[in-house]
Amino acid sequence: MKFRNLRKWDNVDESYGLVFLAQLVDELLFEFTLDTYKPSAMNTSLLVREALETIKAIESGTIKRPNLRHILDELCENLDKDDVAKKLLSVELKGVKAVLKDPKSTESSVVTTIELLNNQLQLDIYKSKNEELLIQEVCDSQSPASLRSLTRSYITTLLNSDFSAKHIQKQSQKFFFYSTNRIAGNNAISDYLELFSVEAEEYSVIYRAPKYLSEFKLAARQLGITITDSLDEYVEVLRSHNFLLRRGEVYLLIPKNGSKDLYFAKSVSDRKLEQFQTLIGLYHHKEAPAPIVECLVIDSDKQKVLKATKSINPMHKCQDSKPGVAARKLAEFMSGFSMQRDSFRKFNRSAELHALALSSESIENQMINLWIALESLIPNKDTSNDISQIEHIASSIVPFINIGYIHKIITRLSKDLFQWDSRLIKRMLRDIPGTGVAHRLSNFLILEEFAERRLELESSFKNFHLLKDRYEYVKYLFSEPKNVVNSLDAHKIRVEWQIRRIYRARNMIVHDGVTPSYSEVLIENTHDYLDTVMSGLMILAASQNTLDTIDQGFKMVEINYKSYYKSLSEKGLEFEQGNIYELLFRHPI
């Protein structure tokens, strides 16, 4: 979370709604934002579409029928909270939920109800109503909770309406922070939303590639790719952007790419190029095609040109250790490692699949390799247990994810606060007891003796409305143990839904050859789940005489999480200095 200067705003003090939206959009689209604060993979409109797609997959035998129940549960919960959907629906919401939630509802009744919702919640209709409500909220009531909900839903909508995250981010930063236009007040929200009312344009994408690809001209033509050593029509653009051919190269031209922005046009053409190279590999094994990443994206009037290199791999949108820290952790892991040979081979195989996903530019390969890497670590299901394999996978992963969830929330807040004003935060935390910054900040937020310091910190946020909102949320979360328990319960449900969504997307890719529009978000989530499980096992394996097998690691985390959750759930429990560490931080995993 970064504060950006508001010098181009004429009336900041009376523009709370739009400033909050601008700061929220900036965080939502930052590549390395904590997963919890990134755009949702789905909104209500997309959930309805997913339900219809899942019904088709069930009919074709790709997915088992029980998977639909979880989508319907998520859909009903979204319908309860989604003001956009409520405003659009002309059918009685209670009646809809009665059909979707009742396990005795006939299949035809469920399908008809979902089709009815789909008619009224089409994504383009949903987008228009979302914009209308955003304008009202920014200019009138300016409720932080409503602004947050509507903005998150809107960004999710744009990402599934053929806009790239990079384009939305650049347009937003330019509009709110960096261009020469002035922002008079909250009414500028209409001008901002107008940026995303564009129709698709035709773009041409030009790559430089190795000359041997000329041998595959005919096959390329079938995919809509022209291979040539001269592009007279574009020569001025090529020269002005230093994109003329070098020795041993040819041009690959993918014309008439209908897209809403330059970055999305590149991603569409990249996938076509990737398909071409994959097909070459079927017949030409000895020389693996080198990745071709640099290109020019040019609109039909040659007025808009983007010279693009490699896009950020969704596998890289995660928290990472610096080399020195990584080296120390690896040394600790290797020195204390005690896993049996079979478990080490299993762990190493998962690590290899993780590496394959990291090295691949293909979304499909990333998804499949990450899922196999994750699934291969899960202990075998007890034969006496009647749950499905996907339920077993979800219940095995959730303890790893949830046991560190609160720690991640408070750690992220500490980093945001230090980035805001490190000198002030150091003074705020001075002399506060605790094992590490997360524990000390928790004491600061919870204990009554620091109330005056909290007031001083809160008065410092000024126009950084997003940081103030996040701080208030975490302070509320830590005000009593039951709030933490409620947060863990809600997060558990969201993670289970997402794991099932990842599983369905993986099946769609493998069995139907269909890649969902929200796949990049799923890849980021899958990568985070896999990293959390693997790092947890590494922490346990690095402690001598702790465990011998991966199965023992899963069992230990399961036991620790149950104990952690039960301790927080004790009736009448309150946080106090003597129990904060024991309740929140004593389990490293």
Token representation of residue 91 = 């059918």
Classify 249 as helix, strand or coil.
strand
**Could you tell me which of 185, 33, 153, 31 has the C-alpha nearest to residue 88?**
153
Residue appearing with tokens 């909270």: 81
Would you tell me how many other CB atoms lie within 10 Å of the CB of residue 20?
A: 24
Token representation of residue 373 = 């890497």
> What is the Rg, in whole angstroms, of the alpha carbon atoms belonging to the chain?
26
Distance, in Å, from the CA atom of 545 to the CA atom of 542, rounded to the nearest integer, reads: 9
Tally of residues, the chain: 589
Q: What is the pLDDT along the chain (589 residues), one digit of tens a residue?
A: 899 999 999 999 999 999 999 999 999 999 888 888 999 989 999 999 999 999 988 888 878 888 898 999 999 999 999 999 999 999 999 999 999 999 889 989 999 999 999 999 999 999 999 999 999 999 998 999 999 999 999 999 999 999 999 999 999 999 999 999 999 999 999 999 999 999 999 999 999 999 989 989 999 999 999 999 999 999 999 999 999 999 999 999 999 889 999 999 999 999 899 888 888 877 765 565 677 888 999 999 999 999 988 666 555 555 554 455 544 554 555 555 566 778 778 888 888 888 888 888 788 889 999 999 999 999 988 877 778 889 999 999 999 999 999 999 999 999 999 999 999 999 999 999 999 999 999 999 999 999 999 999 999 999 999 999 999 999 999 999 999 999 999 999 999 999 999 998 898 888 888 888 888 899 999 999 999 999 888 888 777 667 788 899 999 999 999 999 999 999 999 999 999 999 999 887 7
pLDDT of residue 313: 57
Distance, in Å, from the CA atom of 209 to the CA atom of 228, rounded to the nearest integer, reads: 10
Residue appearing with tokens 């995919």: 223
Q: CA distances (Å), 479 to each of 1, 333, 338, 372, 482, in order?
A: 23, 36, 40, 40, 9
**Could you tell me which of 274, 315, 270 has the C-alpha nearest to residue 294?**
270
Token representation of residue 4 = 């950006």
Token representation of residue 312 = 């950020």
All residues at 6 or more sequence positions from 17 whose CB lies less than 8 Å from its CB, including other chains: 137, 138, 139, 142, 147, 186, 189
All residues at 6 or more sequence positions from 558 whose CB lies less than 8 Å from its CB, including other chains: 396, 399
Count H helices, E strands: the chain? 25, 5
Contact (CB, 8 A) for 556 and 547? yes
Contact (CB, 8 A) for 526 and 502? yes
Token representation of residue 58 = 């069930």
Contact (CB, 8 A) for 294 and 206? no
Cβ burial of 124 (10 Å; 0-12, 13-18, 19+) is exposed
Would you tell me how many other CB atoms lie within 10 Å of the CB of residue 485?
A: 16
Q: CA distances (Å), 341 to each of 31, 142, 247, 347, 533, in order?
A: 38, 59, 51, 10, 19
Q: pTM score, two decimals?
A: 0.90
Token representation of residue 136 = 């009202």
pLDDT of residue 409: 95
pLDDT of residue 318: 55
Termini Cα distance of the chain = 26
Distance, in Å, from the CA atom of 487 to the CA atom of 33, rounded to the nearest integer, reads: 19
Contact (CB, 8 A) for 519 and 367? yes
